[in-house]
Every structure is written in C-alpha cells, then in structure tokens.
Amino acid sequence: MPAKTLMIQGTASSAGKSVIAAGLCRIFWQDGFKVAPFKAQNMALNSFVTREGGEIGRAQAVQAEAAGIEPSVHMNPVLLKPEADNRSQIIVLGQVAKNMEASQYYSYTPNLLKIIKNSLGHLLSTYDIVVIEGAGSPAEINLRDREIVNMRIAGMVNAPVLLVGDIDRGGVFASIVGTLELLTMQECDLIKGFIINKFRGDLKLLKPGLDILEKRTGKPVLGVIPYFRDIGIAQEDSVYLDERQTGSANGTIDVAVIRLPHISNYDDFDPLEEQGCAVRYVSTVPELGSPDLLILPGTKSTIADLIKLQQQGLAQAIVRLAQSGIPVIGICGGYQMLGKSIHDPDKVESRHDSINGLGLLDTTTIFRNDKTTTQVKARVYADKGLLKGLKGVEVTGYEIHMGQTRSQRCQPTLQVFETPRGKVDYFDGIVGSNGLIFGTYIHGLFHNGEFTRRFLNRLRQLRRLPETTTVSINKQEIYDKLADIIRSNLDMSQVYKIALGRKGDAKS
C-alpha cells in the first residue's frame, strides 16, 4: 500500500518549512510510523554526502536523521548549487549532471520530472508517510508552467498541503491570503490548513487575526509555533545568515567566520556556538576585528570568492591577522584559498587559468572535472599548534569538493582511514609551520564532540582564555525537543486527520 503524504509549503523562503518538516518527521517516527522526507528540487549551498557518495540538500539529511533513517539521494533527487556568473551546478540523484545558466534551466526541468517521480515513487513504496517539502513560494506565477517542486509535486500524488507563514517578518496574513489569491482553484483545494511560524508575543492579541483568516479562507489555522533559538537544527537557506543574531554574548571565544559570497555548509560551525563561542559571520574589514579564531568556510566558487576578498581588502586583512598570531582554519574552499595558488586549466570553475591564494599555506590546488563526494573517518595526524595533544583523535565527516590540493613539505592535518567503500589510507589537509594555521577538506569536523572539546581547550590555552565546562550536545535530544515544541503548538489530531484521512496520533 503506497505511503500517505503530507506536504509543507511556505509563503516565502526561510518561512521555516525545513524545520517544521523535520519536527513532523520526528513526531511521526515517535508515534511508530516509518517516515521519510522528500524535496524534489533544492537550491542550496549547504549539502550533505550520503553513504553511497551522493550529494543532497542538508535539510533532507537532517529530516532523515530526525526520522531515524539513513539519508538517500531519492529524498532530494535534484539539487542546484549556485555558482558565480548566474550559473548553477545541477546535481541529479546525487551526481553532477550539468552546469548551466539560470535561463537554460527551466527549459531543462521537463527532463527531470520522470526522475523526480521515480524517486518519490520509491519512497512511497517503502515508507508509511512521506513528508514532502516545497521550495520558496508556490505563488511564483511566472514559473507555474515550469516549476517542479511545489504544487506540481502536490498534484502528482494528491498530497495535502500545510502552508507556513513567517510572522516574525510581518505581513503574515497578507502573505497567506495573497498566496491563495495567486493559486488556481485546484491548487487551493490541496491546501488544508495554515501554520503560523516564529511567533513572539501574546497569543491573545493574535487570536482576532486568526479568526478573520479562517473566516476569509475557509481553512483552519492548525497552530502557532513560537520563535525559538535554543534548538540547533541545520539550516540550508543563506537567508538564515541575514536573520541570525551573533552567537552567545557571553562566549569566551570570539570566532569570526568569513561570509563568502557563495558560502557553503556553514552549519559546520553550529557546534562552536553551542559550546559557548561567539560566532560572527563577517563581510567587511571593519567587522573582522581581532578574533580568537578566524575561519574561512567552504564555498561553491573558490576563485570568484577569493577575487572578491581581494577586492574588498579582506584578503590582505586576513593575512595580517594570521601574521600577528591569530589562529586561522580553512575548510574545503577556504582551505584552497589559504594556499599559494589555485589553477583552473580546464575552466571548471571560472574563466581564470590561475590565481594567487593567500599564501598562508605552502599548497597548490588544481581544478579538474571530477568531483569528490564521500563520507570519511579520519584521525588527527598533526601534533603541534592548534592541534597539539589531539593526535589520534578520531573524527567523522564528509568531503564535497572540486579540485585537489598538494604540498611537498607541510605536515598533514588528518589521516583518512575509512570510507563507506572500505578501508583507505590517505592524508587530508595541511598544517602551517607554526601550527596556528591549518586547512582540511573535511566538513563536519566540529560536529565531533571529543575533537571539538579538546580543540577549544587548546585554543583557550593559546589565547590565554579561561577554560569552561563544555556542554554535551545530543542530536537525538535536539530532535525530541523540536518535536515537543511542534506537538505542543500544533493540532496534531487535525494534522493526522489531514495526512492519514483519519483521526489519531499514533500508529494503530
């Protein structure tokens, strides 16, 4: 018997669709259902590598984890990773398919519908419930005939839709009513209720508006989700960086992350904030200040972003800070930038044959057409500077990168010993001569509790900062807390009735 479906759409990007979908996945799992997430098409620079080496949106990996299952490429069959010059890398079933201009993509989408339908069909035949997430807004009427992620998908499987509105931005009632006004009658019929998200204030003051909304639309408001900050769920939309506040004001470690134009996988640094660091995303030289730790994160467009840093004067400021003794870490594209030079002879990433890097590590990176996507297990190899005393500590993570980086004289950062394909033995990353600068291709480094605890203690020693007690972060507890918030503020009896066509809140 095919699975039941429930689709979460939003009135705009960053309305909270991904987090609500994750919470519902957790609730359904808690109540005894086999549940899987699905998003037909994602446009995101935060991505994840599945066990089989396929690349999907980070949000679907989080939702799968909340549902107690292994992430699969079928949960996000189409992933768009924006690049410089109005282009995107098109990833289909986890593998790079094409690079194309935005204007070309919508002529290409009909070719993707069969793949999307097959992936969704696979999930429907395997699970009890599939929680489907939309993208952006379903009311983008200029794209109605070509979209492959919102109402077209809902109509494909007759999925009931819950529409999420972000009240924190203001105008939530207008955005909900306006969305309905721009949908066809058949599309409106698929919307079964509303969720008001990110509410702060007195619910009594909101009640008259909810009553008017229900009367005007004839559809129920299923719940009002409060604004919360203390539950760390990975975000995939860069809008989140515009809305987020700086990390803990009482953080004992000041961490500056360079907000590159094409920053990717910035959830790499969420655990630092959870451990009391004040994590700042900076875009200008004045914002940089004099942090205790400077991080160059991953990027989808290393060369374009490096040129931007040079034009803004940030590249020179980063070098000055490093030369003054400020510790610097580069991850993935940030690691490539730390080297002496980057070469792109086949024009894989840009129109430049080569470009000088920051020169903080004695490395050279060469871009080729092949892309590395794999989960890894590794051990810290270096034993100096930032990593002194950490040699042998094991970490898990994943690699997603074009290009290979080489150095003849520097000490490796990590030694990879296992991937899902079996035992391996290769070095990753480079540590500078003074040990205060290192790079790595491995994402998720700080999601390893033991490594992060010992790393931060070592950083405190070097910066002469007071040691503090580290907090143990349990992902499963975080998902349970998210589920509690949603269950407490959403009419789950109605949600189950909409999703399953019957009353109840547990599998019978």
In sequence order, what DSSP letters do the residues of 366-399 get, joined into one string? Answer: EEEEEEEEEEEEEEE---SGGGTT-TT-EEEEEE
Residue 352 is a catalytic residue: no
370 closest CA partner among 349, 355, 352: 349
CATH code for the part of the protein at 4-232+477-500: 3.40.50.300
Q: What is the pLDDT of residue 104?
A: 82
**Sign of the CA dihedral with 359 first, then 362, 367, and 372 last:** negative
Tell me whether residue 443 is exposed, middle or buried, using C-beta atoms within 10 angstroms of its C-beta: 0 to 12, 13 to 18, 19 or more.
buried
How many CA atoms lie less than 13 Å away from 86 in the CB half-sphere? 5
**Which whole number is the average pLDDT over 313-323?**
96
Confirm whether 4-232+477-500 and 253-463 share one CATH topology: yes
Tokens of 261: 């134009």
Q: Using CB atoms within 10 A of its CB, is residue 131 exposed (0-12), middle (13-18) or buried (19+)?
A: buried
What was the pLDDT predicted at 89?
Answer: 86
| Cβ(22)–Cβ(176) below 8 Å | no
> 281 by DSSP, 3-state: which?
strand
Taking 90 as the threshold, does the pLDDT of residue 491 lie above it?
yes
More confident residue, 129 or 409: 129
Catalytic residue among 25, 277, 332, 410: 332
Q: Averaged over 277-287, what is the pLDDT?
A: 93
Catalytic residue among 262, 401, 443, 447: 443
Backbone angles phi, psi at 100, to 5 degrees: -150, 160
The overall pTM is greater than 0.85: yes
Q: Could you tell me the residue ranges of all domains in the chain?
A: 4-232+477-500, 253-463
Reply yes or no on whether 188 is catalytic: no
Q: Is the pLDDT of residue 341 over 90?
A: yes
Looking at residue 156, its pLDDT comes to: 94
Give residue 241's pLDDT band: very low, low, confident or very high (50, 70, 90): low
3-class DSSP state of 498: helix
Segment 238-248 shows an average pLDDT of: 52
- The angle at the Cα of 315, spanning 384 to 371, to the nearest 5 degrees, equals 75
What's the pLDDT tens digit per position in 388-421?
999 999 999 999 988 899 987 789 999 999 999 8
Cβ contact 265:443 at 8 Å? yes
Q: Are strands 364-380 and 341-343 parallel, antiparallel or unpaired?
A: parallel
430 — pLDDT class (breaks 50, 70, 90)? very high
Mean pLDDT for the stretch of residues 223-227: 93
Whole-angstrom Cα distance, residue 50 to residue 195? 31
For domain 253-463, the CATH class is alpha beta
Residue 248, pLDDT score: 45
User: What is the band of 249 on the pLDDT scale with cuts at 50, 70, 90?
Assistant: very low
Average pLDDT for 266-276: 88
pLDDT for 355 beyond 70: yes
- Higher pLDDT: 145 or 323? It is 323
Per-residue model confidence (pLDDT) at position 502:
56
CA diameter of the chain: 72
pLDDT tens digits for 19-74? 999 999 999 999 999 999 999 999 888 889 999 999 999 999 999 999 999 999 99
Is residue 470 scored above 80 in pLDDT? Answer: no
In DSSP terms, 504 is beta-bridged to none
Average of pLDDT values for 175-196? 95
Question: Which of 51-55, 170-174, 351-355, 490-494 comes out lowest in average pLDDT?
Answer: 351-355
